[in-house]
């Protein structure tokens, strides 16, 4: 039981880390960022590349997150910005274009075969025992970072002036603009943050997941599930939803391994029917 | 009025069939016929999805589910060896429509992007079921082993030319039916639901009823496309029901045009030809297609056929307020979330 | 000596690839007219996405053999040309591309390097056209074991799941006897290949070691990024050994994540697909006691011919050959040998010649490969198991499997299924 509980937590926190950027961008910009998985992939590859040169995991993670954030600004300024007024389908099409391009670019640069980064020696130790259940040091580190991310994003949005502007922009863009706030810059900032989080997730996952062009694909669907169940745009909701899915998978693999997958999608469907705004959504926004 | 529509539709169907039927005698290439079959099937699928997206304003991201249900139902029935092709087709379409009725009733409880995500979730449940239920569906291998194609009404679907005529014929008749639906009072009611659901409700019409009806009709025609693909490859595969398949239909619609009936068919043609010629020359197909899509998003932002039709109308009317005309003809763009 | 010949090979290879590149840049119609004299072999495969490595390493393997054939003058001056098409992993695309390769590109033969679901689609196409087709990648047993699938013009030069399972079961049972372990668990990808391979392995493990018991199974889905729940499940059941048929990146992720939990401290691992250069070289921290089937290693079989082949491959493609490479190369060798023997490019004549054909090959268990006549599938290929180390040559004391044993048990299994 303890192991399963701890597992649910581990799985959930890793899921949250990956999904946080997606839900942030949706919450503020009302854009469904389908390139999220590709940004995650780029973060992983960038970290792999930097780690290969410098042999420093810290440096790799920092440069990867920052690099993807910068790339996010480029994406937002050149592409997404033109489509805020357009419909959802046009955004979707554009993201699809980027998914195709980025997958092939990664294949061109790093080859089609999968790569493995290896565990930084600091984390290569025996797992710790918590109440009789093992948990690797590296996962404690990831969980810590996930909490920090959740806390930092929440603080940023609730406590700072940047956050209040962001919230204002989320509720009423034109009014915020009329008040002399540069919403355009604000949007770029939020997009950079969301992209940076995707890059961070990719960089953090790189030591334990093999890298391959197209790896963003499975992450994308998982992130959507978390985002939708938690309430699109709600960081806290994403956290709870991610752990909920962790519980599903952790106990499902013991009880009904074949049906875990179906169960998770069923959960998503039930939430959408009963509470379309998700467990922690703000109710009817429109 | 309705009779005139019916006869004009029938006329178009006959003309289209004569043209398509004449092609093999002009072009002797089996490749071109194969490409036409693919375009016809994907085109029908995309147009059926567009009945929801373009005409009803419901963005479904889960329609491949019915493409797959049609393909699997047909394949499974044929593998029993006890069904004739038309009976299996009818049964496959009917069961898909029934499935769509249930799914539609659930999905239309939600709106806008939630509808999109709900259709996606249910589709993924369906897809996971196909993968898990290996004894019935063959899991990820798909329905393999092929099936016999008994001759009916003199049509022998083991013969490649008969396959071509049959698939082209079914697609054209289906498109005729869909065209007829979009031009019927029902079709105009769907447009009203799309443009102003509140007013429709106020007029005493049942908005949800219309949405469910559109959902079921679209699903039925999507399943026809699935049946045809299953017939063509003598099998059914799980990726027929994967979300990327729904995504592809949406890309065809976007590239070809949302606002014109045949737009998605144009999109299907573009994607199929691109796929065919680009993959023959480079393994970096994604890079080429992705770049084309990005250029399109930055520069055009409208389906090809939509642009052609708009230009044509603007040209015919001289320059009398083309902007207003475009706006009138283009309500989907502003309506979608 | 070898240096010179390698250089020559490389130059010839470069010249050939230049020629192909130059030709394919031109218009396809012109290409068709100019190369009417070439023998065309169409390859439907996967060149993009997660398993692009399949297409790349298979076509490289095939290309190497074709280059040698062309360099030696081809067939009556006719050169062989490969036409490669990316199915992107969609079986309906495989079906269309194969028809296209045969009907429009006028390919003489098909070398199918697609994943197994694509292979069934290709199989259906050549069933109709009668074109000679060699399946070089799919390992799924039913493709050739089930007589319902049999057609006279399709052969397989890939490993067969059932044969692999017999070898694995026998080896695992031996190791288990030496170390006295009986508690086993399996972890395999939840799709047909994984279920098939695992079930057969368990069957033969119990055949050779009746005391073995399976205390649990875990079925992650394919390309799952996170294996936490399965790893802890294994730890709870405390088996003495696990068998896994995870492949490629999935296997490496599983090992990396298992290491974090110290999963392999007490458990002996039997990973059928580990000993393939591109997989094994990616494992940064190899568990202490791991065993693997020999997928492809230049040290197995430990012969000059095999090493020379691996060196030629690496020199030409700046990459290591994979299991897929040798399978595609063997498929190509059989096809080319059939052209030589029959002095024709006629699918039917060649198929007749291929049934039961034996060729010399670096990949044979005794230097020879056989296309068994009864089910038209490859036998006598070098296969075995050994203990894995993380340095070249990666495997210690690899034991060559006995084809007599394999054939016996395979026949029994077929009879039980009503296939023989």
Predicted confidence (pLDDT) per residue in A175-205, tens digit = 676 677 777 788 888 889 999 999 999 999 8
At A282 the pLDDT is 58
At C14 the pLDDT is 44
Cross-chain residue pair A101–B290, CB shorter than 8 Å:
yes
How does residue A84 score in pLDDT terms, banded at 50, 70 and 90?
confident
DSSP B55: I
Tell me which chain C residues have a C-beta less than 8 angstroms from the C-beta of A205.
Answer: 225
Q: Does A74 touch chain B (CB under 8 A)?
A: no
- Range 138-167 of A in CB contact (< 8 A) with C: 138-139
At C167 the pLDDT is 92
Cross-chain residue pair C117–B144, CB shorter than 8 Å:
yes
Q: Which residue has the tokens 């554009």?
A: A94
pTM of the full predicted structure?
Answer: 0.86
Chains in contact with C, counting 3 or more C-beta pairs less than 8 Å apart as contact: A, B
Q: Is the Cβ–Cβ distance between A235 and A278 less than 8 Å?
A: no
At A255 the pLDDT is 61
Output the average pLDDT for chain C.
85
Cross-chain residue pair C117–B34, CB shorter than 8 Å:
no
Q: What percent of chain B has pLDDT over 70?
A: 91
Q: How many CB atoms lie within 10 A of CB A81?
A: 15
pLDDT at A252 over 90: no
Dihedral angle, C-alpha B252, B254, B260, B263, nearest 10 °: -30
DSSP A206: T
Q: What percent of chain A has pLDDT over 70?
A: 91
Q: Does A226 touch chain C (CB under 8 A)?
A: no
Q: Is the Cβ–Cβ distance between C404 and C410 less than 8 Å?
A: no
Average pLDDT over residues A23-46: 89
At A173 the pLDDT is 67
Q: What percent of chain C has pLDDT over 70?
A: 91
Average pLDDT over residues A46-57: 92
pLDDT at A38 over 90: yes
Cα C284 from Cα B7, distance rounded (Å): 72
How does residue A270 score in pLDDT terms, banded at 50, 70 and 90?
confident
Cα B266 from Cα B271, distance rounded (Å): 9
Q: Is the Cβ–Cβ distance between A260 and A252 less than 8 Å?
A: yes
Cα C283 from Cα A115, distance rounded (Å): 9
At B28 the pLDDT is 66
Distance of residue C333 Cα from the nearest chain B Cα, in angstroms: 25
Q: What six digits make up the tokens of C283?
A: 């494992």
**pLDDT tens-digit profile of B240-289?**
988 888 988 998 998 888 888 888 999 999 888 888 888 777 778 888 88
At B51 the pLDDT is 92
- Three-state DSSP at C113 gives strand
Distance of residue A276 Cα from the nearest chain B Cα, in angstroms: 6
Spans of chain C below 70 pLDDT: 1-36
Cross-chain residue pair B233–C117, CB shorter than 8 Å:
no
pLDDT at A254 over 70: no
At C98 the pLDDT is 92
At B65 the pLDDT is 94
Q: Does A270 touch chain B (CB under 8 A)?
A: no
Distance of residue C135 Cα from the nearest chain A Cα, in angstroms: 22
Q: Does A105 touch chain B (CB under 8 A)?
A: yes
CA B258, B262, B265, B269 torsion-angle sign: negative
Cross-chain residue pair C195–B233, CB shorter than 8 Å:
no
Chains in contact with A, counting 3 or more C-beta pairs less than 8 Å apart as contact: B, C
pLDDT at A102 over 90: yes
Cross-chain residue pair C116–B141, CB shorter than 8 Å:
yes
At A281 the pLDDT is 62
Residue C377 phi, psi (nearest 5): -125, 160
Cross-chain residue pair C103–B31, CB shorter than 8 Å:
yes
Distance of residue A235 Cα from the nearest chain B Cα, in angstroms: 18
Distance of residue A236 Cα from the nearest chain C Cα, in angstroms: 22
Tell me which chain A residues have a C-beta less than 8 angstroms from the C-beta of B251.
Answer: 93, 96
Spans of chain B below 70 pLDDT: 1-3, 5, 28, 318-337
Select the residue from A32, A93, A249 to test the B interface by mutation, using most B Cβ atoms within 10 A.
Answer: A93
Q: Does B29 touch chain C (CB under 8 A)?
A: yes
Q: Does A175 touch chain B (CB under 8 A)?
A: no
Task: Identify the closest residue of chain C to A116 by CA–CA distance.
Answer: C282
Output the average pLDDT for chain B.
83
At A262 the pLDDT is 83
At A69 the pLDDT is 94
**pLDDT tens-digit profile of A142-183?**
889 988 988 888 888 777 777 777 777 766 666 676 677 777
């Amino acid at each position: 039981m303890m192991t399963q509980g701890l597992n649910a937590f581990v799985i959930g926190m890793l899921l949250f880390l990956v999904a946080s950027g997606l839900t942030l961008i949706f919450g503020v910009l009302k854009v469904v960022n389908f390139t999220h998985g590709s940004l995650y992939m780029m973060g992983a590859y960038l970290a792999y590349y930097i780690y290969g040169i410098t042999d420093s995991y810290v440096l790799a993670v920092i440069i990867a997150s920052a690099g993807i954030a910068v790339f996010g600004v480029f994406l937002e300024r050149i592409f997404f910005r033109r489509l805020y007024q357009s419909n959802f389908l046009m955004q979707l099409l554009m993201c699809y274009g980027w998914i195709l391009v980025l997958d092939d670019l990664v294949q061109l640069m790093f080859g089609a075969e999968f790569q493995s980064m290896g565990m930084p020696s600091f984390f290569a130790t025996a797992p710790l025992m918590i109440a009789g259940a093992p948990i690797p040091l590296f996962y404690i580190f990831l969980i810590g970072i996930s909490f920090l991310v959740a806390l930092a994003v929440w603080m940023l949005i609730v406590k700072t002036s940047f956050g209040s502007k962001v919230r204002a922009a989320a509720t009423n863009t034109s009014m915020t603009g009329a008040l002399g706030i540069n919403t355009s810059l604000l949007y770029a900032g939020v997009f950079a943050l969301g992209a940076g989080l995707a890059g961070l997730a990719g960089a953090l996952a790189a030591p334990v997941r093999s890298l391959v062009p197209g790896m963003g694909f499975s992450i994308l669907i998982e992130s959507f599930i978390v985002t939708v169940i938690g309430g699109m745009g709600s960081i806290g909701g994403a956290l709870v939803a991610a752990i909920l899915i962790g519980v599903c998978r952790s106990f499902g693999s013991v009880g009904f391994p074949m049906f875990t997958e179906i169960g998770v999608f069923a959960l998503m469907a039930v939430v959408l029917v009963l509470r379309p705004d998700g467990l922690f959504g703000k109710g009817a926004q429109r | 009025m309705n009779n005139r529509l019916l006869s004009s539709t029938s006329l178009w169907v006959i003309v289209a069939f004569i043209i398509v039927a004449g092609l093999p005698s002009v072009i002797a290439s089996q490749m071109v016929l194969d490409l036409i079959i693919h375009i016809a099937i994907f085109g029908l699928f995309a147009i059926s999805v567009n009945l929801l997206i373009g005409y009803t304003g419901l963005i479904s991201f889960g329609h491949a589910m019915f493409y797959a249900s049609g393909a699997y139902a047909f394949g499974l029935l044929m593998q029993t060896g006890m069904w004739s092709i038309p009976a299996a087709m009818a049964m496959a379409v009917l069961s898909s429509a029934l499935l769509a009725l249930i799914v539609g009733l659930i999905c239309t409880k939600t709106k806008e992007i939630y509808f999109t995500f709900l259709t996606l979730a249910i589709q993924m449940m369906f897809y996971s079921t196909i993968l898990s239920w290996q004894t019935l569906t063959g899991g990820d291998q798909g329905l393999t082993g092929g099936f016999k194609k008994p001759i009916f009404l003199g049509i022998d679907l083991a013969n490649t030319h008969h396959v071509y005529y049959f698939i082209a014929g079914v697609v054209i008749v289906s498109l005729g039916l869909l065209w007829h639906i979009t031009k019927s009072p029902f079709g105009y009611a769907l447009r009203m639901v799309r443009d102003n659901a509140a007013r429709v409700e106020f007029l005493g019409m049942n908005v949800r009823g219309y949405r469910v009806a559109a959902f079921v009709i679209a699903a039925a025609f999507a399943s026809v496309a699935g049946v045809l693909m299953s017939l063509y490859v003598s099998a059914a595969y799980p990726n027929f029901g994967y979300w990327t398949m729904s995504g592809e239909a949406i890309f065809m619609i976007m590239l070809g045009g949302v606002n014109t009936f045949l737009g998605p068919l144009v999109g299907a043609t573009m994607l199929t030809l691109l796929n065919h010629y680009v993959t023959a020359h480079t393994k970096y197909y994604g890079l080429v297609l992705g770049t084309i899509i990005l250029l399109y998003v930055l520069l055009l932002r409208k389906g090809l056929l939509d642009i052609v039709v708009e230009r044509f109308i603007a040209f015919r009317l001289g320059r009398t307020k083309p902007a207003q005309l475009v706006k009138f003809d283009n309500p989907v763009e502003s309506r979608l979330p | 000596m070898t240096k010179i010949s390698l250089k020559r090979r490389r130059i010839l290879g470069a010249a050939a690839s230049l020629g192909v590149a130059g030709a394919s840049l031109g218009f396809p119609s012109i290409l068709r007219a100019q190369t009417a004299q070439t023998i065309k072999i169409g390859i439907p495969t996967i060149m993009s996405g997660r398993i692009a490595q399949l297409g790349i390493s298979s076509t490289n393997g095939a290309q190497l053999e074709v280059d040698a054939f062309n360099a030696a003058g081809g067939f009556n001056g006719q050169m062989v040309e490969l036409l490669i098409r990316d199915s992107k992993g969609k079986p309906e695309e495989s079906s269309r591309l194969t028809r296209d390769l045969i009907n429009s590109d006028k390919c003489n033969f098909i070398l199918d390097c697609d994943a197994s679901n694509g292979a069934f689609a290709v199989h259906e196409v050549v069933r109709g056209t009668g074109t000679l087709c060699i399946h070089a990648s799919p390992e799924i047993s039913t493709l050739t074991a089930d007589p319902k699938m049999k057609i006279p013009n399709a052969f397989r030069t890939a490993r067969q799941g059932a044969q692999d399972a017999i070898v694995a079961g026998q080896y695992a049972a031996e190791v288990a006897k030496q170390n006295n372990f009986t508690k086993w668990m399996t972890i395999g990808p939840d799709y047909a290949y994984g279920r098939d391979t695992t079930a057969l392995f368990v069957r033969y493990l119990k055949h050779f070691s009746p005391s073995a018991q399976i205390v649990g199974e875990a079925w992650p889905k394919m390309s799952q990024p996170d294996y936490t729940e399965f790893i802890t499940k294994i730890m709870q059941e405390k088996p003495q050994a696990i068998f896994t048929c995870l492949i490629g990146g999935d296997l490496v992720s599983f090992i990396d994540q298992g290491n974090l939990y110290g999963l392999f401290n007490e458990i002996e691992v039997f990973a059928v697909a580990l000993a393939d250069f591109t997989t094994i070289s990616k494992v940064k921290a190899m568990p202490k006691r791991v065993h693997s089937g020999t997928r492809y290693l230049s040290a197995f079989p430990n012969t000059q011919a095999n090493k020379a082949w691996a060196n030629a491959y690496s020199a030409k493609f700046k990459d290591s050959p994979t299991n897929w490479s040798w399978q595609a190369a063997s498929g190509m060798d059989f096809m080319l040998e059939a052209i030589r023997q029959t002095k024709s490019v006629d699918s039917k004549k060649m198929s007749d010649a291929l049934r039961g054909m034996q060729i010399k090959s670096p990949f044979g268990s005794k230097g020879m490969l056989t296309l068994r006549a009864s089910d038209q599938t490859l036998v006598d290929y070098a296969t075995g198991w050994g203990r894995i180390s993380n340095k070249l040559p990666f495997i210690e004391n690899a034991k060559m499997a006995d084809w007599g044993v394999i054939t016996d048990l395979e026949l029994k299994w077929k009879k039980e299924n009503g296939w023989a």
